[in-house]
Amino acid sequence: MFPLLSKPRRTSRKPAAPESRTLDVAGRSMPLTIRQHDRATRITLRIEPGGRALKMTIPTGLAVREVNAFLDRHQGWLLTKLAKFSTESRLHDGGEVPIRGVMHSIEHSGSLRGLTEVSTIDGKAVLRVSGLPEHLGKRVATFLKKEARADLERLVAHHAGAIRKPVRSIAMKDTRSRWGSCSSEGNLSFSWRIAMAPPSVIDYLAAHEVAHLKEMNHGPRFWALCRKLCPHMEEAKAWLKRHGSQLHAIDFD
């Protein structure tokens, strides 16, 4: 996010529907959504998780020329931030994908039938994928969903048992705005992409959502409980902050 420090001039207070446009950033076309907000006092520009789109919030009625001028001034900032996202993020035979923090080479087995499985070849971690070549990404995603569920069901049961709170259900989703959620009914939801993170980070995510079973907020008592369940909480949070967007950027379609 890059805020405009000075308060921009408003031309009206009439709300408007979100505007969608494409922004060129050094030859890279980026979808941009611009939303007006009555309470906004400055322009904010955010890169969506995965680096595939941009979101801009502006004060209601801000002149188009001021929006354009802001975007022009911050092309360099955008270019720097987007540089960490690979322009070729789709999985392919011979490419790589992290599994529990360890990079695995992707190898298409050449067979139309068979399991997607991890093996070690010449001392290197390999993910062997069967099926049609054009379905490779989806088969890797299915594998990761299964691995994420196995890890999270085990970790959630452990942490929920520690605080003696029941869990009603656990769901795997591909959310971009959050890594997990917890409802007041005890339904937990997780992004299966967390299976690509190191085990300590997966453990933190499980502990975080389980802590919400007792503290449905992010207040001091919640963080104290989360830290008690997961002593390496700070390191895991820092890892997600540094690398989380790169996991969202991987294209499994």
Q: Mind listing the pLDDT tens digit of every residue in the chain (253 residues)?
A: 444 444 445 444 555 788 999 988 877 788 999 999 999 899 999 888 767 789 999 999 999 999 999 998 888 888 777 776 655 567 888 999 999 999 999 999 888 788 899 999 889 999 999 999 889 999 999 999 999 999 999 999 999 999 999 999 999 999 877 899 999 999 999 999 999 999 999 999 999 999 999 999 999 999 999 999 999 999 999 999 888 888 888 888 7
Can you list the positions of beta strands (E) in the chain?
2-3, 19-25, 28-37, 44-47, 54-59, 96-99, 102-108, 117-121, 124-129, 169-173, 180-182, 187-191
Please choose, from the candidates 253, 250, 234, the residue with its C-alpha nearest in 3D space to the C-alpha of residue 103: 250
The SS3 of residue 165 is coil
Please give the structure tokens belonging to residue 85. Answer: 């996202």
Please choose, from the candidates 251, 146, 250, 239, the residue with its C-alpha nearest in 3D space to the C-alpha of residue 200: 239
In Å, what is the CA distance from 155 to each residue of 145, 151, 217?
A: 15, 6, 21
Please give the structure tokens belonging to residue 111. Answer: 């067979």
CATH number of 134-249: 3.30.2010.10
Please give the structure tokens belonging to residue 4. Answer: 């405009």
Please choose, from the candidates 205, 96, 78, 76, the residue with its C-alpha nearest in 3D space to the C-alpha of residue 152: 205
pLDDT digits (tens, 9 = 90+) for 98-144: 999 999 999 998 887 888 999 998 899 999 999 998 899 999 999 99
- Length reported for the chain: 253
The pTM (predicted TM-score) of the whole model is: 0.72
C-alpha 141/C-alpha 214 separation (Å) is 32
The domains of the chain are located at 2-82, 134-249
Q: Which residue has tokens 């995510």? A: 205
C-alpha 68/C-alpha 126 separation (Å) is 47
In Å, what is the CA distance from 32 to each residue of 29, 72, 96, 201?
A: 9, 14, 29, 31
C-alpha 32/C-alpha 23 separation (Å) is 6
C-alpha 152/C-alpha 129 separation (Å) is 23
